[in-house]
Amino acid sequence: MPEDKPKKGKRTVTVLLTGIVLGIVLWSGFNAGMEATNTETFCSTSCHEMEVNVYQEYMDTNHYVNRTGVRATCPDCHVPQEGIPKFVRKLQASREVYHHLLGTIDTPEKFDAERMELARHVWRAMKETDSRECRNCHESLSMDYDKQEPRSVKRHEQAEEEGLTCIDCHKGIAHRLPAEYDPEQDIPGESIYYDEANTSL
């Protein structure tokens, strides 16, 4: 006996509405998870590796406390603000969760043994995006060279001429440089300007 059309139509509408509601719930949960993992608190205390290593270093820099009171938090520097790049970065972070579970860098000694490789990954990513996350707060067009030290003005002008990006010059601005880092072996243009002094924002 053929199924009557009103019942089939109601079932189709029910399935569609259920799918839409389920989709909204899943997307909301995913988005809430992305935001919950995108805070300084999460970055600094959710895993031992960050809390005892890079977060301690970051607290001693001008990105944490400075004369202007403007703080750049962990996600400000390490997570894009835009939707798709942020989603991609969060997917990449699954590798970090995997290594956290393995205990790959769960002691300061293990972390320091991997520091150079970890730094290279971050530097490469920042270089590829023209230091996008730095530019959320710092923009060369907004720099007032009259308020900068002559040395900084010269370096910023030279960086613009040579097409350099923030990370080319400011390695070590928020975290300790790896012991193996040799500015003389760095990519041309990078070695001259790396910033170990954490200059003021």
pLDDT band per the 50, 70, 90 thresholds, residue 133 = very high
The confidence score (pLDDT) of residue 195 equals 45
Q: How confident is the model at residue 198 (pLDDT cuts 50, 70, 90)?
A: very low
**What is the distance of C-alpha 134 from the center of its chain?**
9
pLDDT confidence of residue 157: 87
pLDDT digits (tens, 9 = 90+) for 54-94: 898 899 998 998 888 888 999 999 999 888 898 888 888 88
Q: So what's the pLDDT on residue 196?
A: 43
Mean pLDDT of 17-30: 91
The C-alpha atoms of residue 45 and residue 67 are separated, in whole angstroms, by 26
H or E segment to which residue 87 belongs: helix 83-102
Model pLDDT, residue 200: 39
Overall pTM > 0.85: no
Residue 22 in this model has a pLDDT that exceeds 90 = yes
Give CA separation, 135 vs 36, 88, 89, 126, 128, in Å: 23, 19, 17, 11, 13
Query: What is the dihedral sign for C-alpha 200, 152, 159, 124?
Result: negative
pLDDT for 38: 86
Determine contact, residues 79/38, Cβ cutoff 8 Å. Answer: yes
| Cα 60 from Cα 34, distance rounded (Å) | 27
Range from 3-12, 50-59, 112-121, 188-197 carrying the lowest mean pLDDT: 188-197
The C-alpha atoms of residue 199 and residue 15 are separated, in whole angstroms, by: 59
Choose between 199 and 148: higher pLDDT.
148
Residue 193 to residues 50, 72, 167, 168: CA-CA distances in angstroms?
27, 21, 10, 7
The confidence band for 2, taking pLDDT boundaries of 50, 70 and 90, is low
* Residue closest to 183 by CA, chosen among 197, 198, 173, 193: 193
CATH of domain 19-185: 1.10.3820
Q: Can you state the angle between helices 83-102 and 5-36, rounded to 10 degrees?
A: 70
